[in-house]
């Protein structure tokens, strides 16, 4: 998704963002504004998802849908051999309510993209947790106090060795049958549900900051109207008159 005019003006003063928010409000129905206001306080960046080179659009789309449904705002996509693809019939348009960051290096060098993604997440203060059926720590024992990103690998091979080596920790989802692993989209759903359920019943400050909520609300407004770029452009043109 191309960055909005607002994203290109990250250093914009808060009062200008508020004016842009008011400007966009006139183009939204009351029902959509109420829906945005209802969902915004439930959003979190305390937990996120990183996907390494998934190739089935059905899985990526289901993961986006799960992240949106559980209020997890950020999905990070590592593209090596495979390009991140979304099936709107499965995702039900959830991508436009999420912040999807993509990492891809030239010549399909998957490992370089993996390193770039993980280093970026660590620089943002995240603890990177690999998911693996061979890990010794169960999902339920993972502390929720740290900002955490769950790292998932391809449908057939799982995570690369580099991803596992760069991760800060690893967890397994306990299984009691004959199969060795869950489908990746199911694994994401189980991890996020467990973590967010414990998080929302805790005293951890998992909510977005006031400024993050304002910026996200404007992005959601943009995605709710036609010709959003033209509307923003008109707003900034009127500002300089």
Hey, how many other C-beta atoms are within 10 angstroms of the C-beta on 98? 20
- Written in H, E and C, the secondary structure of 190-204 is HHHHHHHHHHHCCCC
For the chain, list the domains and their CATH numbers.
42-224 (3.40.1280.10)
For residue range 153-183, list pLDDT tens digits in order: 988 888 999 999 999 999 999 999 998 889 9
pLDDT at position 33: 95
Report whether 155 contacts 55 (CB < 8 A): yes
Per the rule left: phi > 0, alpha: psi between -120 and 50, beta: everything else, 24 is alpha
pLDDT at position 10: 52
Enter the DSSP assignment of 55.
Answer: -
Report whether 71 contacts 196 (CB < 8 A): yes
pLDDT at position 1: 47
Phi, psi (deg, nearest 5) at residue 27: -100, 0
pLDDT at position 5: 54
Listed residue (99, 70, 74, 17) closest to 192, CA to CA: 70
Phi, psi (deg, nearest 5) at residue 2: -65, 145
pLDDT at position 181: 85
- Our CA dihedral for 92, 150, 191, 72, rounded to 10 degrees, sits at -40
CA gap 175, 129 in Å, rounded:
19
Listed residue (151, 121, 124) closest to 49, CA to CA: 151
Report whether 45 contacts 73 (CB < 8 A): yes
Predicted confidence pLDDT, tens digits, the chain (241 residues):
445 555 555 556 878 889 999 999 999 999 999 999 999 999 999 999 999 999 888 999 999 999 999 999 999 999 988 888 887 777 778 999 999 999 987 665 545 899 999 999 999 999 999 998 888 899 999 999 999 999 999 888 889 999 999 999 999 999 999 988 899 999 999 999 999 999 999 999 999 999 999 999 999 999 999 999 999 999 988 876 6
Report whether 13 contacts 40 (CB < 8 A): no
């Amino acid at each position: 998704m191309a960055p909005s005019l607002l994203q290109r003006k990250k250093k914009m003063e808060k009062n200008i963002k508020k004016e842009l928010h008011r400007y966009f409000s006139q183009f939204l129905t009351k029902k959509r504004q109420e829906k945005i206001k209802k969902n915004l306080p439930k959003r979190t960046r305390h937990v996120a998802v990183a996907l390494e080179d998934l190739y089935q659009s059905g899985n990526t789309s289901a993961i986006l849908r799960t992240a949106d449904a559980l209020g997890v705002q950020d999905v990070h996509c590592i593209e090596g051999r495979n390009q991140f693809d979304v099936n709107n019939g499965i995702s039900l348009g959830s991508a436009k309510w999420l912040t999807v960051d993509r990492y891809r290096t030239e010549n399909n060098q998957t490992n370089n993209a993996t390193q770039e993604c993980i280093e970026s997440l660590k620089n943002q203060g995240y603890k990177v947790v690999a998911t693996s059926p061979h890990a010794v720590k169960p999902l339920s024992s993972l502390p929720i106090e740290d900002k955490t990103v769950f790292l998932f690998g391809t449908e057939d091979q799982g995570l690369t060795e580099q991803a596992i080596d760069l991760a800060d920790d690893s967890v397994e989802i306990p299984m009691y049958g004959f199969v060795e692993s869950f489908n990746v989209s199911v694994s994401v759903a189980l991890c996020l549900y467990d973590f967010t359920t414990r998080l929302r019943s805790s005293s951890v400050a998992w909510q977005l900051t006031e400024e993050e909520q304002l910026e996200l609300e404007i992005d959601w407004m943009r995605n709710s109207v036609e010709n959003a770029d033209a509307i923003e452009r008109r707003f900034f043109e009127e500002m300089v008159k």
